[in-house]
């Protein structure tokens, strides 16, 4: 166990498997706390307000930003996403590990404001497999998939900025490695 739990940031291109890995981790360790982001994106079928995201209007997002309530925020593929600051700081003050699942721009902001944060990059086994996963998920239109793949090229190129890279070949292996990085096991 390290002296002070660090903030862990998990980033990686859309469709690489971030949500799947986090869900697997939390099934085994329900105590692992994941920050719930605010987003202007519309919910996908099955997504619940306050569980997967806080789904907010553009006006509500404007207010969160103006009031300094977000630790970081970014526009990704036409929607805005941000991490509520208070909940994260509360957990860290209590000495509990904190996990953020955010995009590259958000990861860079966290790096700038919290020097001891650990940045983890989740990489696909190959470009073809990333396309397959993003398309296979079936939650986005072809236009949105195209936009996300465009963002993915930029994100993949930024991998060297991260402290650790995990390749998502096996969800179980990546979840175990992430838990170990967070000192949970
Ligand atoms: N900067 C930032 N990015 C976020 C936040 N929440 C989610 N994201 C990222 O926004 C991107 C799109 O998320 P989403 O629409 O849920 O699609 P998915 O990750 O492909 O399932 C992903 O890269 C997320 O990691 C946040 O609070 N801040
Ligand atoms: N290791 C893996 N092997 C095969 N398919 C995977 C793996 N990890 C995730 N997937 C699949 O890839 C798709 C995208 O995963 P998801 O967790 O939604 O990605 P992200 O949250 O990074 O956008 C989903 O259909 C998921 O079931």
Q: Write 61-68 long-range contacts (CB < 8 A, 24+).
A: 64/38
Give the CATH class of 7-181.
Answer: alpha beta
Residue 161 in this model has a pLDDT that exceeds 50: yes
ipTM: 0.97
pLDDT tens-digit series, residues 75-93: 998 999 999 999 999 999 9
The residue whose CA has the least distance to atom 5 of ligand 2 is 133
Rounded to the nearest whole angstrom, what is the distance from the C-alpha of residue 135 to the centroid of ligand 2? Answer: 10
Q: What is the CA radius of gyration of the chain?
A: 16
Alpha-carbon distance 100 to 119, whole Å? 10
pLDDT given for residue 3 in this prediction: 55
- What is the residue extent of each domain of the chain? 7-181
**How many Cβ atoms are within 10 Å of 144's Cβ, its own excluded?**
16
> Minimal CA–CA distance to 40: which of 85, 76, 86, 88?
76
- Given a cut of 70, whether residue 5 has pLDDT beyond it is no
Distance 93 CA to ligand 1 centre (A): 25
The encoded tokens of residue 105 equal 């721009």
83/71 Cα distance (integer angstroms): 6
105 touches ligand 1 (CB under 6 Å): yes
Angle 78-178-115 (CA atoms, 0-180°, nearest 5)? 70
C-beta 102 within 6 A of ligand 1: yes
């Amino acid at each position: 166990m390290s002296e002070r739990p660090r903030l862990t940031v998990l980033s990686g291109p859309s469709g690489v498997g971030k949500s799947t890995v986090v869900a697997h981790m939390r099934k085994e360790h329900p105590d692992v706390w994941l920050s719930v982001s605010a987003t202007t994106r519309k919910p996908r079928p099955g997504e619940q307000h306050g569980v997967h995201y806080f789904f907010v209007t553009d006006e509500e997002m404007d207010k969160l930003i103006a009031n300094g309530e977000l630790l970081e925020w970014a526009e990704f593929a036409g929607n805005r996403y941000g991490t509520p600051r208070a909940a994260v700081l509360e957990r860290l003050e209590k000495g509990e590990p904190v996990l953020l699942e955010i995009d590259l721009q958000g990861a860079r902001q966290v790096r700038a404001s919290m020097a001891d944060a650990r940045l983890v990059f989740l990489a696909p086994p190959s470009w073809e497999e990333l396309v397959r996963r993003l398309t296979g998920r079936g939650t986005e239109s072809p236009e949105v998939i195209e936009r996300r793949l465009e963002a993915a090229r930029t994100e993949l190129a930024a991998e060297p900025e991260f402290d650790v890279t995990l390749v998502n070949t096996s969800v179980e292996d990546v979840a175990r490695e992430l838990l170990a990085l967070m000192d949970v096991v």
